[in-house]
Amino acid sequence: MNPSSVYARRRALLAEKIGAGGIAIIPTAPEQQRNRDSDFPYRADSYFYYLTGFTEPKAWLVVTGDGRSTLFCQPKDLEREIWDGYRLGPTAAPAQLALDAAHSVAELDAQLPALIDGRDAVWYPFATHQGLETRIDGWLGGLRARVRYGALCPQTQRDLCGVLDEMRLVKDAYEQATMHRAGQISASAHMRAMQVAANMLRAGQEVREYHLEAELLHEFRRHGSQFPAYGSIVAAGANACVLHYRADRGLLRDGELVLIDAACELDGYASDITRTFPANGKFTGPQRTLYELVLAAQEAAIAATKAGARFTDPHDAAVKVLAQGMLDVGLLDKNKVGSLDDVIEKRAYFQFYMHRTGHWIGMDVHDCGDYTEPGEIGQVSTRQDALTGDTIKDRPARILRAGMALTIEPGIYVRPAEGVPEHFHNIGIRIEDDAIVTDTGCELLTRDVPVGVAEIEALMRGGVESGKS
Ligand code: GLY
Ligand code: MN
Ligand code: MN
């Protein structure tokens, strides 16, 4: 948990950005029912948490351009606290959270018009909270009805997402430390899953995808992670070629690969790791060939990740290596697809590599932040996509700066098809690590889990017992 001064500093910066006449209104996330009398585990809204560190539901933050912060939160209520747990309450909140004022959330409708009165712009996250616009319309309408009594209604509504997204894009020291720890926990979970797979197979036990998911979840939670950062993918054999596969009941077979894309969220921050390994701990020749190709692509992408480079540079570097490799190993026939330049220009590699090489990561696993460089947004060029014929608008990609965090995750997915060498059929490989951009390169947060062929095989030879904690 970060000290309250960290959140106070972020709110002060927000106040500066909305200007002296602005007011920002940020609700936290609603509670979500899963089914009768049973809710999904509660998770605060990322913007709200970024500015408060407060995890209770039914809360709103109001920041005014003069730098004042007011929280509306659940009031103390002994009976509700007996059922639902401790509430901080508005009396304790200002000192605990370094706020200027706090009130019961029941007072929101009564207090908001007065807080908005006299401001020139209302800022709130557009199109993110169902019903928020209506709520704000109500407060503005109430204020307008009082103009004869001297009330001043703002003339402007502004989207807060852009401002907060820019702030969140560059991670401060506290965020980086939390992401480091999340990466370490997730790495240890991957190691555990690798070792358990090999160990159970060696012992002649049946191993299914859900056995490995259980090991991952165990490891996340025992280190204090509150949630998985996203639905865990544990894909045995051909299932790895389904990009959004989830851990199910597929059987791990001797001689096949397992792809695990799973990672934890810690104190509001995601990690995101993929490793692909042989179920029995030993790569076959074709598996190793493709694995080393994906690893070389990842290394090229990592080398291209540094301050001053464009967000698309790691992807372009990975594609170049993958496309050349596809020609070299015979996945693509150069008599049909032509040279490396042709493969890239016509996107022939797309048959085996159909996703981007990374995304921003932070509080959300696919974190907020524009992928276009803000100062160059007007420089649009249009082109026809080589495969689909769609018209694509290209704008200059974001220039990477120290403190930005992104994943680097190339892959190869070989579905059986005519002309595709049979020994590669049904192999799906992805390797994914999380990186923080530095002035000279990038720092990988998730490399405690081995990634080289020899290191993975060595780890899996020295397997631990299933259930060891
Ligand atoms: N696990 C989600 C992703 O890799 O983007
Ligand atoms: Mn990812
Ligand atoms: Mn992932």
How many alpha carbons fall within 13 Å on the CB side of residue 21? Answer: 11
Q: 222 near 209, Cβ under 8 Å?
A: no
**Are 119 and 199 members of one domain?**
no
**Are 272 and 404 members of one domain?**
yes
Does a structural domain hold residue 469? no
Residue range 392-412: mean pLDDT, rounded: 97
**Are 249 and 161 members of one domain?**
no
- Evaluate if residue 90 carries a pLDDT over 50: yes
**Are 291 and 434 members of one domain?**
yes
Residue range 307-324: mean pLDDT, rounded: 98
Partners of 25 in the β-ladder: 62
Does a structural domain hold residue 466? no
pLDDT of residue 439: 94
pLDDT band at 464 (very low <50, low <70, confident <90, very high): very low
Residue range 123-127: mean pLDDT, rounded: 97
Ligand 1 in reach of 263 Cβ (< 6 A): no
Does a structural domain hold residue 261? yes
Ligand 1 in reach of 272 Cβ (< 6 A): yes
Q: At which of 142, 167, 192 does a domain end?
A: 167
Ligand 1 in reach of 215 Cβ (< 6 A): no
Nearest CA residue ID for atom 5, ligand 1: 366
Nearest CA residue ID for atom 4, ligand 1: 272
Ligand 1 in reach of 261 Cβ (< 6 A): yes
**Are 351 and 265 members of one domain?**
yes
CA distance 395 to 371: 9
What pTM was computed for the model? Answer: 0.96
pLDDT of residue 386: 86
Residue range 342-363: mean pLDDT, rounded: 97
Ligand 1 in reach of 273 Cβ (< 6 A): no
Residue pLDDT, tens place only, 406-430:
999 999 999 999 999 999 999 999 9
Ligand 1 in reach of 193 Cβ (< 6 A): no
CA distance 87 to 62: 19
Residue pLDDT, tens place only, 350-359:
999 999 999 9
Q: Which of 216, 272, 430, 431 is the best mutation target for the ligand 1 pocket, counting ligand atoms within 8 Å of the beta carbon and taking the most?
A: 272
Q: Which of 213, 216, 230 is the best mutation target for the ligand 1 pocket, counting ligand atoms within 8 Å of the beta carbon and taking the most?
A: 230
- Evaluate if residue 345 carries a pLDDT over 80: yes
Residue pLDDT, tens place only, 17-27:
999 999 999 99
Q: At which of 167, 188, 210 does a domain end?
A: 167
Does a structural domain hold residue 136? yes
**Are 364 and 279 members of one domain?**
yes
What is the enclosing helix (H) or strand (E) of 266? strand 264-266
Does a structural domain hold residue 96? yes
Residue range 310-320: mean pLDDT, rounded: 98
Report the separation in Å between the CA atom of 414 and the middle of ligand 1, taken as the mean of its atom positions: 19
Which residues belong to the active site?
37, 244, 261, 272, 355, 359, 366, 409, 413, 430, 432
CATH of the domain at 235: 3.90.230.10
**Are 47 and 155 members of one domain?**
yes
Query: Taking each helix axis from N to C terminus, what angle separates 313-329 and 285-303, rounded to the nearest 10 degrees?
Result: 150
CA distance 80 to 78: 6
**Are 109 and 235 members of one domain?**
no
- According to DSSP, the β-strands at 391-394 and 381-384 are antiparallel
Q: 81 near 87, Cβ under 8 Å?
A: yes
Report the separation in Å between the CA atom of 461 and the middle of ligand 1, taken as the mean of its atom positions: 28
Residue pLDDT, tens place only, 265-297:
999 999 999 999 999 999 999 999 999 999 999
Ligand 1 in reach of 256 Cβ (< 6 A): no
**Are 151 and 177 members of one domain?**
no
Does a structural domain hold residue 247? yes
pLDDT band at 387 (very low <50, low <70, confident <90, very high): confident
Nearest CA residue ID for atom 3, ligand 1: 272
Mean pLDDT of the chain: 96
**Are 175 and 124 members of one domain?**
no
Q: How many domains would you assign to the chain?
A: 2
Does a structural domain hold residue 465? no
Report the separation in Å between the CA atom of 432 and the middle of ligand 1, taken as the mean of its atom positions: 8
Q: At which of 137, 167, 197 does a domain end?
A: 167
What tokens does 180 get?
């480091």
CATH of the domain at 65: 3.40.350.10
Q: Which atom of ligand 1 is nearest to the CA of 262?
A: 1
Does a structural domain hold residue 214? yes
C-alpha closest to that of 259 among 227, 290, 221: 290
Q: Which ligand is nearest to the CA of 274?
A: 3
Give start and end residues of each alpha helix (H) in 117-225: 132-144, 161-169, 173-202, 209-222
**Are 219 and 273 members of one domain?**
yes
**Are 236 and 280 members of one domain?**
yes
Which residues span the domain enclosing 441?
A: 170-460
Q: What is the DSSP letter of 98?
A: T
